[in-house]
């Protein structure tokens, strides 16, 4: 195996590490459903490194996008650059996604619970909410029907909760077999990337399990910022840091720091 040239602690930001983790979750040749923000950057990085044959789909209708400029909206004309097709929602969310052609979907979350169920709709009580969030958009469709799901989010106690204020998108619901029983097509969440760690799902219980700890983060940090009982295996490896090559490409993708500000806190 070739020796990788890893960046050292202090030479990359947490957001850069998160984007690299997201990119590595994409395999070459896969059909990837992403939104704007960090997932878009992650998918663009994957395409320019280990997964040049990955096909990026945006729900607004851009298929196999080869954007070279950072988009602010999922329907941004920038995403149309050298795409193979520009169609619409029935095509992307219906025929491609529900039709079973999407390997991996990336989503964000305002809250998740220990089964990877997602809230992007309300904070607080349904009748009298504290904050009304944007809602599902295509999020529920993606999490329902993609073969696997990567969740990218900030790791905070109020976001990693025992009970969601509102269940927008289905994780593993209440445990093993629940998705199948509900009639869902896709495989559900398989990876959660945060600013502190990566988490996967225990195959027996379908509960969230610590997978890797980001460099410079302690187990204590993770425990303090998680509101549910996280499964912690005996040996948890450190997250593979970004390589210098990945960092250089990443910084070329977002040169103005729209989604990955250069001044962001360095771990």
Partner 1 sequence: MVETPVEDKRITLKEAAKLIPDGAHLFWGGFGFQRPPMAFAHELVRQKKRNLTIYTCGSEMDIDILAGAYVTSRFELAFFAIEGIGLAPNIQRRIREGAVQIEDYTNLAMALRFLGGALGVPFMPLKSMLGTDLLTKTKFKPKKAEVITCPFTGEKVVLVPSVRPDFSIVHVSRVDREGNAQIDGIKGEDVEGARAGKKVIVLAEEIVDTEFIRSQPDQTAIPNIYVDYVVECPWGAYPMMVYNYYDYDMEHIRMYYQQCKTEEGWQKYCEEYIMSVEDHMDFLKKIGMERLLKLRAKKPFPY
Q: Residue for token digits 């499964």?
A: 231
Residue number with CB closer to partner 1 (168 or 195): 168
Cα 128 to Cα 131: distance, rounded to the nearest angstrom: 9
List residues near partner 1 by CB under 8 A: 36-37, 59-62, 69, 72-78, 80-81, 86-90, 93-94, 97-98, 117, 121, 126, 129, 131-141, 144-145, 166-170, 173, 178-179, 182-185, 258
The CB-of-139 to partner 1 minimum distance in angstroms stands at: 8
Residue number with CB closer to partner 1 (49 or 111): 111
Within 10 A of 248 (CB to CB), how many other CB atoms are there? 12
Catalytic annotation present for 59: yes
The CB-of-110 to partner 1 minimum distance in angstroms stands at: 11
Marked catalytic residue, from 16, 30, 59, 246: 59
Cα 161 to Cα 150: distance, rounded to the nearest angstrom: 18
Cα 232 to Cα 125: distance, rounded to the nearest angstrom: 31
Backbone angles phi, psi at 80, to 5 degrees: -85, -10
Residue number with CB closer to partner 1 (45 or 97): 97
The CB-of-193 to partner 1 minimum distance in angstroms stands at: 20
Within 10 A of 140 (CB to CB), how many other CB atoms are there? 19
- Residue 129 structure tokens: 């909410």
The CB-of-46 to partner 1 minimum distance in angstroms stands at: 21
Specify whether the CB–CB gap between 16 and 8 falls below 8 A.
no
Specify whether the CB–CB gap between 141 and 190 falls below 8 A.
no
The CB-of-134 to partner 1 minimum distance in angstroms stands at: 4
Residue number with CB closer to partner 1 (12 or 62): 62
- Residues 6+ positions from 180 with CB-CB distance below 8 Å: none
Cα 163 to Cα 148: distance, rounded to the nearest angstrom: 23
Residue number with CB closer to partner 1 (44 or 74): 74
Residue 144's nearest CA partner among 173, 110, 170, 180 is 170
- Residue 216 structure tokens: 């410079």
Active-site residue list: 59
């Amino acid at each position: 195996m070739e020796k990788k040239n890893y960046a050292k602690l202090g030479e990359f930001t947490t957001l850069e590490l998160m984007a690299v983790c997201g990119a590595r979750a994409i395999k070459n040749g896969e059909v990837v459903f992403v939104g704007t923000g960090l997932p878009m950057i992650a998918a663009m990085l994957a395409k320019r490194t280990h997964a040049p044959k990955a096909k990026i789909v945006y729900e607004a209708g851009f298929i196999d996008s080869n954007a070279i400029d950072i988009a602010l909206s999922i329907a941004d004309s920038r995403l149309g650059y050298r795409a193979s097709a520009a169609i619409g929602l029935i095509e992307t969310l219906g025929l491609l996604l529900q039709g079973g052609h999407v390997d991996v979907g990336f989503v964000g979350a305002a809250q998740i619970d220990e089964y990877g169920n997602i809230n992007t709709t309300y904070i607080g009580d349904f009748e009298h909410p504290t904050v009304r969030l944007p809602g599902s958009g295509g999020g529920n469709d993606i999490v329902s029907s993609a073969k696997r799901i990567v969740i990218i989010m900030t790791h905070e106690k109020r976001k990693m909760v025992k009970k969601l204020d509102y269940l927008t998108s289905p994780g593993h619901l209440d445990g093993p077999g629940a998705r199948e029983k509900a009639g869902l097509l896709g495989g559900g969440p398989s990876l959660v990337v945060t600013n502190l760690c990566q988490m996967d799902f225990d195959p027996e219980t379908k509960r969230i399990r610590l997978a890797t700890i980001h460099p410079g983060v302690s187990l204590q940090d993770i425990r303090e910022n998680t509101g549910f009982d996280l499964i912690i295996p005996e040996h948890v490896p450190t997250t593979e840091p970004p390589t210098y090559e990945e960092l250089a490409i990443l910084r070329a993708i977002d040169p103005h720091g729209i989604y990955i500000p250069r001044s962001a806190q360095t771990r």
